[in-house]
Structure 1
Amino acid sequence: MARTEDDHLVERRLDGGSVYEGHFLRVRKDHVALPDGSTAQREYIRHPGAVMIVPLLDDGRLLMERQYRYPMGRVMLEFPAGKLDAGEDPLACGQRELIEETGYSAAEWAYAGVLHNAIAYSDEGIHIFFARGLTGGQQKLDAGEFLELVTHTPAELDALAVGGMLTDAKTLIGLLWLQRWQQGDWPLSWSARA
């Protein structure tokens, strides 16, 4: 194996395997060699990946969802998002999820990037898309999915974040990206819906 400038930080898998296989999450436990030659255990979650959409309404408000999240034990405010199906293109997933969860379709899409929200224990990557030119339609929620659509201005979301009412990591990253784009710092390249 070729040496890299990061070799002094890299952990190498020695052995391990699956601890739990669920509907879409897989929990693993591996035995690894540390850079200093000692060994350790690593427990982590394999996730198929997801997409989050920042839907921009023509009046500057953002289309959001309020949804009960069982692990948190409360209703959370968040941007629309969903899991990638096996082999699914992230843009196709974003378009599908926006329609399913909100009933809206978008005329233009921009890819911002990917975020890794829990790097210490999961390999989940969430692709961030922006959507504008929204047209309303009928929601197509999955069985067992219950959510409420709401709208907020960026200033309202800032106040909710400062007040501790907006704590979802992906949504906070989406809000940050929106603000940086609006300031001209982080460019977005828009294209018509595929």
Structure 2
Amino acid sequence: MTQPSRLPAITREQMTPDQTAMLDAILAGPRKNLNGPFVAWIHSPRLGELAQTLGAFCRYDTGLPLRLSELAILATAVAWQSQAEWHIHLPIAIDAGLPADVAEQIRQGATPVFAQRDEHVVWHFATELYRNRRVSDATYAEACAMFGLPVVVNLVGLLGYYALVAMTLNTFGMRAEGQGEGELPFAEPAA
């Protein structure tokens, strides 16, 4: 993660014990890097600790296959126009089986054409929730029938967590490691 201009740089030597504990937990966990909101969350280690624990669950244990979790994350990145979130999760989504042309349709704000019904259901669930702040009865029923209620609850949690990530990344102007200004997937709003 590149150092955002809105956050002061902090070295391990400057960190409090809570900050170093959070840093060590992130680096020892499944992520093994600070690419994402963690540079910001180190400044509030209690939030960071709770958020990274929730994030590990939302990313790895929702009951959704990785392809669908990553689709939901890309829907969130588009909804929030989160540069780093998109940059980090696009290759993961494609490696997990989401077609690159579908991902590009999503990035462009088009209605994607899905070959698999489960992708269609996750996409419509996420986009309805972001657009309407509600999910229609039909979309809810289809999601429950397809995935079961516990997974639908987890999907809502995943969407909420990655919205928090996107808000953090956007607020602090964070970019993913290796992401140059010329590689931004979304136009930046005028200042």
Under a length normalisation based on structure 2, what TM-score does the superposition of the two structures give? 0.27
Greater percentage in strand: 1
CA radius of gyration, larger in: 1
TM-score normalised by length of structure 1: 0.27
